[in-house]
Amino acid sequence: MSADSIQRNEFLSLLFHNHHGWLSAWLRKKTGCQHRAADLVQEAFARILLLPDPRQLEQPRAFMVTTATRILIDEQRRRLLEQTYLDALYRLQGDDPVCADSPEQIMQAVQALDAISTMLDGLAVKPRRAFLLSRLDGLGHAEIATELGVSASMVKQYLASALGHCYRLLYPAAA
């Protein structure tokens, strides 16, 4: 092991030792559940481990609070997405249990929807909405234009922008 990696490991160990209890208590207060808080603390420290050089953190607690808050927001968004999917699935299936999706299928669908949602996060509202109306609802340009209150040519620009955005995220080296 190099001296640099030993210093990094010592720093991470000290960071964990000094802040784990505090972050756990803070998240326990936020969530009301010690088990959920423990999971969130683990995720926050895992993200710190992914930093190129965590030793450059000038205010570790501020970073941890920001990281934990983002994890909470992501978790809430994912739960809302999952519930929306399950509600839609229930409406489509009605009382027919034969058509019920397995837990694995539901998980895969929610993961796919979450990935799509994350990918579209960087888009402005109208291009995002145009893309979803086109791809999920199957609306044509004229219908989307009416829905958004814009021209059909503007819808084409929105869709091109959304597709370009997705392409750049999927193939960063090509962009």
Quick: pLDDT tens for 129-147.
999 889 888 889 999 999 9
Sign of CA dihedral 166, 169, 173, 175: positive
How far apart are the C-alpha atoms of 75 and 81, rounded to whole Å?
10
How far apart are the C-alpha atoms of 170 and 96, rounded to whole Å?
38
Query: Could you tell me the two tokens for 38?
Result: 């423990």
The end-to-end CA distance of the chain, in Å, is 37
Would the pLDDT of 153 be above 70?
yes
Q: Domains in the chain, please, with CATH?
A: 3-99 (no CATH), 122-175 (1.10.10.10)
CB 126 within 8 A of CB 153: no
Model-level pTM?
0.59
Would the pLDDT of 95 be above 80?
no
Quick: pLDDT tens for 43-93.
999 989 888 888 888 898 999 999 999 999 888 888 888 888 777 777 777
Q: Which of 68, 80, 88 lies closest to 23 in space, CA to CA?
A: 68
Mean pLDDT of the chain: 86
How far apart are the C-alpha atoms of 159 and 38, rounded to whole Å?
42
How far apart are the C-alpha atoms of 175 and 168, rounded to whole Å?
6
CB 31 within 8 A of CB 37: yes
